[in-house]
Amino acid sequence: MTTPYSKLEQFVCRRIPEQLYRHCVATAQTALDLAKYHGIDPRKARDAGLLHDIARSLDDATLLKEATRLDILVSEVEETVPVLLHAKVGAKIAERELGISDPETIEAIAVHTTGSCGMGLVARVVFVTDYAEPTRDLAGADEVRALLPGRLDEAVLSVLRHKIQYVLESGAPVDPHSVELWNELVQKPLA
């Protein structure tokens, strides 16, 4: 089932604060442009970029409750750092409330925070654009933007390095999916 983009925008706009909405729109546009460059379905990238943070404004207790309600298996790391669940909860909301059924779009939403081994191109695009869309001023965002559009895997590795470094410095546990993706990427030639 395909949902008109304007309906998606309205849905997102009603669910999250204005500043986060602007980030989602910027992520969607950047993902769309990057997808076109890489020959990826631009609609999938745009939709995933727009929807990626639809559960981001939920507090920790609500995320844990929603994960239970939506039959999401919660890891020990997610129990400790529930904000990580916003990606998986958001993916389930996209499926159940919007009827999004495309597996690449759902994967991109579900793994946009931690990454995942073997993640597809749409997921890689959203992972990178969430971090480096033009309004972001995160540590390393300029470095990631400099790698785009052509060096997508290097950009993924750069985002991952910055995210892992941030988590390590905060003293929080590193999500195993991030570690597994890091190991996958450093053990193969980058495209």
Split at pLDDT 50, 70, 90, the class of 131 is: very high
Give this prediction's pTM. Answer: 0.94
Does the pLDDT value for residue 86 go beyond 70? yes
Does the pLDDT value for residue 3 go beyond 70? no
Pair 35, 41: CB distance under 8 Å: yes
Q: How many CA atoms lie within 13 A of 63 on its CB side?
A: 24
Query: Per-residue pLDDT averaged across 73-94, rounded?
Result: 97
Tokens of 115: 């990454």
Does the pLDDT value for residue 155 go beyond 70? yes
> Residue 188: its pLDDT value, please?
80
Q: How many Å apart are CA 8 and CA 88, to the nearest integer? A: 18
Mean pLDDT rounded to a whole number for the chain: 94
Q: How many Å apart are CA 137 and CA 45, to the nearest integer? A: 22
Does the pLDDT value for residue 5 go beyond 70? no
- Give the model confidence (pLDDT) of 19-59 as tens digits: 999 999 999 999 999 999 999 999 999 999 999 999 999 99
Split at pLDDT 50, 70, 90, the class of 2 is: very low
Domains parsed from the chain with CATH numbers: 5-186 (1.10.3210.10)
Query: Per-residue pLDDT averaged across 58-72, rounded?
Result: 98
Lowest-confidence segment of 8-12, 40-44, 166-170 by average pLDDT:
8-12
The H or E element containing residue 98 is: helix 85-98
